[in-house]
Structure 1
Amino acid sequence: MAGSSSVFGGRAGGSLHVFVSFRGIDVRNTFLGHLHHALVREGIRTYIDGEELQKGGEISFSLEKAIEDTRIAVVLFSKNYATSRWCLSELVKIMERRKEGKLVVMPVFYRVDPGEVRTPRKCFAEALAVHESQLGKESIEVMKWREALHEAGNLSGWHLDFNGHDALLPP
């Protein structure tokens, strides 16, 4: 499973409220399920992808449209997030919309340190190295992914550590 395209919270009545970008294998049956339940309970419409995404393909029109239709994006960074080209492409689009002032980005660092996202280390560095080996070291796409990761890693967000404790992180 890749990143974040089925709508759980509905889409009737206009724009979505929240787009959730995530790597399914890490969080779908744990944190994401709890987050989704809480959002729906509060009447917040969400877009959470449930389809298998084609490996190596470009971000789909429906995902781009969902990002454009939302006001808030929750980016759920987890250990395998950067292994997905789809997740990284979503993140680029999300950060572009943020720069335009059209989207609030709320990062959640699920069992990863924000510094690992900001300046790729460990699993993020390994994943980007794989992408570079496939696309080329000077790939514009990989450079955009690195820039988006750096920007998102600098945002204030929530860090959920290995013990399940959470903390609001300063920018």
Structure 2
Amino acid sequence: MAFHGSSSSSVSRLAYEVFLSFRGEDTRKSFTAHLYAALCRNGIYTFMDDKLRSGEEISPALVKAIEDSQISIIVLSKNYASSRWCLDELTKILDCRKIKGQQVLPVFYDVNPSEVRNQTNSIGEAFAKLEKRFNDDKMNVERWKTSLTEAANLSGMHLGNRNEPEFIHEIIEMVNSILIKKTYFQVSQYPIGIESRVQDVKSLLDIEKNESTWMVGIFGISGIGKTTLAKAIYNSIASQFEKASPNKDTSRS
């Protein structure tokens, strides 16, 4: 396995920001390779399995990588449903979505969501090959079918007639917006009176209308809540920006 990329980390974050699930023979050397490179260029810490897969079951390392990721991107291509490995990955990803609140982004590459949802056309043909191989394993076949339908019902991104660079750019923007919304400082559980103070500072900044760059200093004696206020302000405005980083040391008095 090769784990590449870089990341702006939150106060506490999982091991990876993105896990890529894909059918190797369809997109490993084309679309997924370009998407992975774009994620890394944008400083998004991404897990991509760069080894040719052997055997039927996903490895414990892959299971752990899925569990330790904030977002899973599922590249649903024509032969995705022919691989037990891919469908087990998909099922694990959807379990993490339900249990851990993981963000899941289906990417429909040269297939339509309806084909995935109903297992028709190329997806249907691929799934039929898998079903034939596992004819005696009805329970898993139904589980995989349910997972495909569930993934297709999620809000995802469809290549359609767009060119790939444009499509990849849109995916990066979507991932960045998700990461910004999930990257917050920890603030006191019951910060009495903090909301009114946050609103006071935000009114001074006038972020909605003002495109200028501001540097704000918060002064006061030690222990009155300067750091807590700064964190709360950051949390309230971070999603409005294309990029945001909470790593700066705000612990000074």
Q: What range is the shorter-chain TM-score in? A: 0.7 to 0.9
Tell me the matched-pair count: 162
Q: Counting strand residues as a fraction of each chain, which structure ranks higher?
A: 1
User: Is 2:43 the partner of 1:47?
Assistant: no
Once the two structures are overlaid, the 10-residue window that deviates more, 147-156 or 125-134, is: 125-134
Letter in 2 for 1:69: D
| Higher Rg | 2
Structure 1 CA distance for aligned equivalents of residues 39 and 99 of structure 2 = 25
TM-score by length of 1: 0.85
1:110 and 1:159 in contact (8 A); partners too: yes
- Shift in Å, 1:160: 0.6
- Shift in Å, 1:97: 0.6
Instruction: Report the equivalent of 1:104.
Output: 103
Taking a change above 3 Å as real, the CA distance of residues 59 and 153 of structure 1, as seen in their structure-2 partners, is same
Map 1:73-88; keep pairs closer than 5 Å: 73-88=72-87
Higher relative contact order (CA 8 A, sep 6+): 1
- Shift in Å, 1:137: 6.1
- C-alpha RMSD over aligned residues: 2.3
Provide Cα deviations, 1:46-97, integer angstroms capped at 9, x if missing partner. 1111112124x21110110000010100000011111111111100000111
Letter in 2 for 1:52: L
Taking a change above 3 Å as real, the CA distance of residues 35 and 105 of structure 1, as seen in their structure-2 partners, is same
Structure 1 CA distance for aligned equivalents of residues 52 and 112 of structure 2 = 27
TM-score by length of 2: 0.59
Provide Cα deviations, 1:28-55, integer angstroms capped at 9, x if missing partner. 2222122112211121111111112124
Q: Secondary structure at the match of 1:54?
A: coil
- Shift in Å, 1:123: 1.8
Moved over 4 A (4+): 165-168
1:19 and 1:74 in contact (8 A); partners too: yes
- Shift in Å, 1:102: 2.9
Q: Secondary structure at the match of 1:71?
A: strand
Map 1:17-56; keep pairs closer than 5 Å: 17-55=17-55
Q: Counting helix residues as a fraction of each chain, which structure ranks higher?
A: 2
Unaligned 5+ runs, structure 1:
none
- Shift in Å, 1:108: 0.5
Instruction: Report the equivalent of 2:2.
Output: 6
Structure 2 CA distance for aligned equivalents of residues 127 and 44 of structure 1 = 32
Letter in 1 for 2:134: L
Structure 1 CA distance for aligned equivalents of residues 136 and 75 of structure 2 = 26
- Shift in Å, 1:158: 0.9
